[in-house]
Amino acid sequence: MFRAGGVAVGVLMLAVGVVAVWLHFSPSTSNLTIYPTSAVPLAVLSTIAAVLVFASLRNWVLAGVSVAVAGAVLVTQVPLWRASPPPAAGSPTITVLSSNLMVGSGDVGELARLIADVDPDVVSVQEVTAQAFTRIESSPITVKLPNVYAVPGPGAVGTVLLTRAAQRDQTRVPGMILHNLAATADLPGAPQTRLLAVHPGAPVPGAGHGESAIADLGVLRAHIEGLPAGRLIAVGDFNATWDHKHYRDLLTGGIEDAADQAGAGWLPTYPTDRLLGRPVVGIDHVISRGFVATEVKTYHLSGADHRVLVVRLSPR
């Protein structure tokens, strides 16, 4: 009886790993798959547990299968833990920051102090209401980053792009659910860099919302693919994790994920307003072309449901 129960538990853990690998590569647009895909990294623990269970039962066939599945799950995560070659010595450093204010409720004063500490060149702020933008305008943020492209709005719609360098060619990314902004700036060692302050729609519960969110990522991908070749930085709340195929589809044409480049590993950023403030999914990202990320960190922001993401980039 004990042995049968152990086999059943092991098979269940093994099945979690098989499903996780399928989810990582699945093009599904349903909320039924989008949500569990965010938990794929946890399947590493499940499959390792399956190996241990079957080994303890001396069921070497299922133990071997579990080792193979555990290896497959690990393969999906290895890129996030393996750093790219570092930039050349003496390369300039560009600091990029992303913050989601949770419908304007994030503490702008605290964000201003963080910005003073990390000294970013580019800042993308999402879910900026008119009231929140007023607080940003009157804060030290716009002293340090005086070049501002802002399209605030109700609820989660508004976005702001702030830079130390002057911006030009400012435009909204057309056809997206929320305000996604684009501009060009001359960054240290990286002139004419196209900047995107990104916030695709979220797969909130409800019929059709998953499909709409994935379609929004598709619009973003088409926009990026239509840009001229050259340096690019896109930063913000992508509402998708590394394990969502539709997010990884953005990583084409020389575009790379900062956590992947820096070997930062699994870096959850959301949600911080529940579960004892412990985020469980990583949906805030920096992706770029023509740069290598050397450091990726996150910071708590009071009143927000996302951790602030800070990435150090060097041109290459």
pLDDT per residue over 244-272, tens digit each?
Answer: 999 999 999 999 999 999 999 999 999 99
Per the CB < 8 A criterion, the answer to whether 311 and 258 are in contact is yes
- pLDDT bin (cut points 50, 70, 90) of residue 2 is low
Radius of gyration of the chain (CA): 21
Tokens read off for 206: 């409800």
Q: What is the pLDDT of residues 82-126, one digit of tens each?
A: 999 988 888 999 999 999 999 999 999 999 999 999 999 999 999
SS3 199: coil
Angle at 197 between CA 194 and CA 199, to 5 degrees: 140
Extract the runs of DSSP E, i.e. beta strands, from 127-176.
Answer: 147-151, 159-163, 167-172
SS3 101: coil
CATH class of 94-315: alpha beta
Q: What is the pLDDT of residues 282-302, one digit of tens each?
A: 999 999 999 999 999 999 999
Cα separation, 303 vs 315, whole angstroms: 34
Q: pTM of this prediction?
A: 0.94
In one-letter notation, the amino acid at residue 261 is Q
